[in-house]
Amino acid sequence: MEQTTSRYECHVFVCTNDRHGERKSCADGDAALVRSALKKGVGDRGWKPRVRVSQAGCLGVCAKGPNVMIYPQKIHFSAVTLADVDAILDYIASVVD
């Protein structure tokens, strides 16, 4: 095992867990589109490689999904829609700009 520190000032995890209709999951609410929009926004703002947007499995709160968590800031957004992407990017700007 090798231990290092993260190179990212901000790491954004978007839950894209899909339970295929068995129970509510983040994928039910277009989480993949939210992730894509966040990735594009990060790229458009020139934040790479300081900010990373990653797909995550279940974050434990799918009933409130889609969910976005930001670390190391420990910020959690629930019930995220595409309309919320700009607000999330504004939050990220407050951290990295």
* Domains of the chain, each with CATH number or no CATH: 10-82 (3.40.30.10)
pLDDT score of 47: 97
Quickly tell me which residue has 């339970």 as its tokens. 19
Q: What is the mean pLDDT of each run of 10 residues along the chain (97 residues)?
A: 94 93 87 96 96 92 91 95 97 93
Separation between Cα atoms, residue 39 and residue 74, nearest integer Å: 19
